[in-house]
Structure formats: C-alpha cells, structure tokens
C-alpha cells in the first residue's frame, strides 16, 4: 500500500532550501470508504518554492489540500508546515498559511470590501492595517472599482480573483491554492497567473493543485502527478519531460499483465525504471531501442499482445496522460 512511487524524482530535488511543507507517508481513509483517498504521500515543498499537484478528478488533490488546511485529520503519516507539526501547532501554522479553496469561499450578499474586511478581522487584523490590506488586496485583484458591489453580481472571474486575495489578506508565508483558475475567462486567468508569479518572486512558498497542464508547466518549479491517492511521479518540469522525451517506452498491452510478468519486466537488463498501470507499461532505459525488443519478447512469452508502442513524450500533458489515462479507464 505504501510502496515508494516508481517514478519518483524526489531525490533530484535540490535540497538547498528548508521545507515549507513536508508530508511523510500521509494517508487518509474516509469513514466507510474501501480505498484510501490519500495513500502514503511523500512530498516536500521547498521554502520559496512553487509546487504543482496534477491529477485527474478524484485523484485526491482536494483531500490533500483539506488536510494541509487543517480541515481534515490524516489517518496516518505526518504533515510539517513551516517546520512545525500540523497536529501539534495548528494555530501557529494557520497564521502563516493562506488557503484559496477550489470554489469561491465568499459571502455573495456582502460586497467585495465587506468580504475582505470580515476575513481580515477573522485573521486578527484591525484598524488602519486592516484597511490598508483591504485596499492592497482590491488592487491586487483589480477590483477596486467594484469594491462596494455585492459579490453576487460579480462575474466568475471577479469572484475567483476575490477568492484569491482573501487568502492573501493576512500576508501569509505559504499559499495553498486548490484549482484557482477553473472555469474563468482568459483575462482573469492571466491576471491570477501574473499575481502568483509576483507572490512567488516575493518569496512566498506556493502549493497549487490544478488539472491544467500548461498552467503547471508555466508556473511551477516542481510537479507531482497524483492518481488514486498516490503520487505517481514527482520532480521538476524539466525532469519529467526529459524522462519521457528520450528514454521512455510506452506500451499498451492487449490484456492486464499478470504479477509474474510485471516482476519479470522490472528485472529486465538495461531498464532504469518500470511502471505498470493497468495495461500501460512505461519504462525508462539508456538504450530504449534494445530494451524494446526484450520487452516485446517477454510480453509474448506470457501470451499477451501489444496494442501500441511509442517512444518518449513531448509535453507534460503527454506525461500526465500516459501515467493516468489507462488507470482512469480501468
């Protein structure tokens, strides 16, 4: 259940910064659920880093965000934020953490200014400091002109922008965003991207979950791909693309491979890594052309056919799809 991810690039991550967020063997099983929503997650977000979590719907991204926000208790494992254990220093961690939930968590019948003032007060701000933060956030979101309009009259993009800046009202050191640009207009998306880059440049550690590949590719330094509560692969965008581009063979089998075949594939000479997900086999090797022949032979020995075979990947989306598509179908 808690096997290390076969494609983990964790060790390639530079260790020159302290960890803003560190998860160790984190699992979450909902009451009555047969499968865990999170299954042995290991993840490190460096201080000042910009980390993206990619995954299809149901991968466990929102559960992970909820655990990080202190909304859900993990079933096992540990969560360290800003060098402190979340379970033991919840209040201290909440002060440095800014959460931006997936859906705009705002009061529709209040104005944008009233929403910011309210959440600012809930973060312990008051007086002139609160007012200056409210004005700053309105400017960051570029909604100053509509600050005194009720939020219920806002477009989806305006709501998302307000949702983002409410998470910034108390100037957090770590920002966690759960799919912040879902279903919004290109202008608002571009603005949110721009603001996130500025925040990152200002030294704020950012963890973002998204299912937009280009968003992750453009914004994030490091990426983890989640599926069925597990992290399938983790590393920098460059690492992931390189892994797929030159040294990777993807093979679709005609049937599910038996355990014995999987074990044999993993022991084939010349292989660096082998990952089997359903009928999809993905391997990395220094000489993929030689390994491909051995792979075909081995598969045929077990009476299986090869539906398709390809070498390398050219985009993060292809990496993502090759890792998750077959599992999703299954």
Residues in contact with another protein by CB under 8 A are 66, 69-73, 91, 94-95, 97, 99, 101-110, 114, 117-119, 121-124, 126, 150, 166
- Min dist CB 157 to another protein, Å, is 17
Residue number with CB closer to another protein (178 or 247): 178
Q: Sheet holding 84-85: strands in order across? A: 38-46, 19-28, 76-81, 84-85
- Min dist CB 109 to another protein, Å, is 5
Residue number with CB closer to another protein (97 or 219): 97
- Min dist CB 114 to another protein, Å, is 7
Question: What is the rounded end-to-end Cα distance, in angstroms, of the chain?
Answer: 19
User: 219-241 as b/e, with b when 16 or more CB fall inside 10 Å?
Assistant: bbbbbbbbbbbbbbbbbbbebbb
- Min dist CB 237 to another protein, Å, is 28
Residue number with CB closer to another protein (7 or 80): 80
Question: Do the strands 174-178 and 97-100 form a parallel or antiparallel pair, or are they unpaired?
Answer: parallel
Question: Do the strands 222-227 and 230-236 form a parallel or antiparallel pair, or are they unpaired?
Answer: antiparallel
Residue number with CB closer to another protein (154 or 275): 154
- Min dist CB 6 to another protein, Å, is 34
Residue number with CB closer to another protein (74 or 288): 74
Residue number with CB closer to another protein (99 or 226): 99
Q: How far apart are CA 169 and CA 93, in angstroms?
A: 16
- Min dist CB 3 to another protein, Å, is 30
Q: How far apart are CA 165 and CA 161, in angstroms?
A: 6
Residue number with CB closer to another protein (94 or 294): 94
- Min dist CB 105 to another protein, Å, is 3
User: What is the maximum alpha-carbon separation in the chain?
Assistant: 75
Q: How far apart are CA 152 and CA 143, in angstroms?
A: 14
Residue number with CB closer to another protein (169 or 251): 169
Our CA dihedral for 8, 14, 18, 21, rounded to 10 degrees, sits at: -30
List own/partner pairs for 25-29 with CB under 8 A and 24 or more apart: 25/76, 25/77, 25/78, 26/64, 26/67, 26/74, 26/76, 26/77, 26/78, 26/79, 27/2, 27/74, 27/75, 27/76, 27/77, 27/229, 28/60, 28/63, 28/67, 28/72, 28/74, 28/75, 28/229, 29/75
- Min dist CB 118 to another protein, Å, is 5
């Amino acid at each position: 259940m808690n096997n290390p991810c076969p494609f983990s690039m964790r060790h390639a991550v530079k260790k020159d910064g302290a960890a803003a967020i560190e998860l160790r063997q984190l699992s979450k099983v909902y009451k009555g659920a047969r499968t865990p929503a999170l299954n042995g997650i290991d993840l490190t977000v460096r201080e000042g880093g910009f980390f993206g979590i990619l995954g299809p719907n149901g991968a466990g991204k929102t559960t992970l965000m909820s655990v990080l926000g202190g909304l859900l208790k993990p079933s096992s494992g540990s969560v360290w934020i800003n060098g402190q254990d979340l379970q033991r220093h919840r209040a201290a961690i909440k002060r440095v953490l800014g959460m931006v939930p997936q859906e705009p968590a705002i009061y529709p019948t209040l104005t944008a200014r009233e929403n910011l003032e309210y959440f600012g007060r809930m973060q312990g701000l008051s007086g002139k400091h609160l007012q200056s933060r409210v004005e700053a956030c309105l400017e960051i979101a570029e909604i100053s002109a509509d600050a005194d309009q009720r939020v219920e009259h806002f477009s989806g993009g305006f709501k998302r922008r307000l949702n983002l800046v409410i998470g910034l009202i108390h100037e957090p050191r770590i920002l966690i965003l759960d799919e912040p640009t879902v279903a919004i207009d290109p202008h608002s998306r571009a603005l949110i991207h721009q603001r996130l880059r500025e925040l990152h440049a200002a030294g704020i550690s950012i963890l973002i979950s998204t299912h937009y590949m280009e968003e992750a590719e453009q914004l994030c330094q490091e990426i983890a791909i989640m599926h069925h509560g597990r992290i399938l692969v983790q590393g920098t965008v460059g690492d992931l693309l390189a892994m797929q581009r030159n040294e990777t063979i993807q093979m679709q089998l005609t049937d599910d491979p038996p355990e014995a075949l999987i074990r044999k594939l993993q022991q084939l000479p010349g292989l660096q890594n082998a990952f089997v997900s359903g009928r999809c086999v993905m391997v990395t090797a220094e000489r993929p052309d030689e390994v491909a022949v051995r792979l075909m032979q081995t598969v045929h020995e077990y009476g299986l056919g090869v539906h398709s075979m390809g070498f390398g990947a050219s985009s993060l989306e292809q990496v993502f799809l090759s890792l998750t598509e077959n599992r999703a179908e299954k």
